[in-house]
A and B are shown apart, each in its own frame.
Chain A
C-alpha cells in the first residue's frame, strides 16, 4: 500500500466548517480512517494547487473526446457500410 497516508498532506488545509466551502478537508477521527488513512470522498485532500475558472482549459478532455469521436465515426461507417449494407437480404420494398 502507498507509503504516505495523504490525509495530513493536505497542505492547503484550513479548518473548515461543514458548510459547502471548498477549502481544506475535514480532519476525520481515527477509527473512521481505513488502513491507508483514506476517507471515501476525500479526493480534495490530494489537492496541491487551486485552478480557478479563467485559468482552466480542459485540453485533456478535448483530446479524449476527439479520440472518442474518431472511434465512433469509424465504427459507424464500418457498421453501416460493411456489416449492414454488406449483409444479405436487405429489405428493399
Chain B
C-alpha cells in the first residue's frame, strides 16, 4: 500500500514537472509525459528500496 502511494506521489510530482518543462500542451504530450513520469517514479521507488535494504 505504501509502495503504491509512494509511486503515485512521485508520479504526480513528476508529471507536474513535465508540464513545466514543455512549451505547448496537447494530448500526446500528456500521454508521453505521464508515461515517462511513471517510469521515473518507479525508478525512484526501486532505487530507494535498493539503497535502504542492502
Chains A and B bind each other: no
